[in-house]
Amino acid sequence: MSEWSTARVKQCAYSVPSRLIGEWVCVRIFEDRIVVRYAGKEQLVCDGLRGTNLKRIDYRHIIWSLMRKPGGFARYVYREDMFPSIAFRCAYDAIQSPHRGLKGDLEYLRILHLAASTFEADVLGRLLSSTPSGQVSRLPSVGWFRSAEYACVGYPSLLSGDPGTALERRMLMICASWSGLPRP
């Protein structure tokens, strides 16, 4: 495995768990999927990519090594794949406003690490429900996500009417309030 926890298979990049960095693995290529095995156990099974120079990067595989060396995040070749949704991208942009550079990257990586080690949906829910009105004056710290009074957000309460439209509208409002842009 490469130092960035990726494997090249038929000119496509796949992320694998970071514990396999520097290890030799066995990759089996099937018509519709690939299987990565290490020490006789399947480590990754995913749909195969059709084409060249494509990528399948899972932030859950990469985050552990980026936490050890957060300075690499700014130059990480698959950096855009480290944003599982638009809310995470908006959170990163909001963090970069007051904390440009390594400090902001580290704060974002902590939020992403929390999403990878707990439930991404819970962290996403906390990002989307920062305040009851949906307007955020500033992005909360990681400690806010881990607070004792933290309770899983009732996702149906986020949605009113058509789920896709309401959630999309709410995410855009939150992103606009984080970045100081006019609200839609």
Of 48-52, 57-61, 159-163, the least confident: 159-163
Of 7-21, 73-87, 109-123, 137-151, the least confident: 137-151
pLDDT tens-digit series, residues 87-146: 888 888 888 877 788 888 888 898 899 888 888 888 888 777 653 444 333 455 555 554
DSSP string, the chain: --TTSEEEETTEEEE--GGGTT---EEEE-SSEEEEEETTEEEEEEEPP-SSS-EE--HHHHHHHHHH-GGGGGG-TTGGGG-SSHHHHHHHHHHHTTSTTHHHHHHHHHHHHHHHHS-HHHHHHHHHTSSTTS--SSPPPHHHHT-TT-----HHHH--SSHHHHHHHHHHHHHHHHHTPPP-
- Assess whether pLDDT exceeds 50 at residue 182: no
Q: Find the mean pLDDT for residues 82-89.
A: 88
Q: What is the pLDDT of residue 37?
A: 92
Q: What is the mean pLDDT of the chain?
A: 74
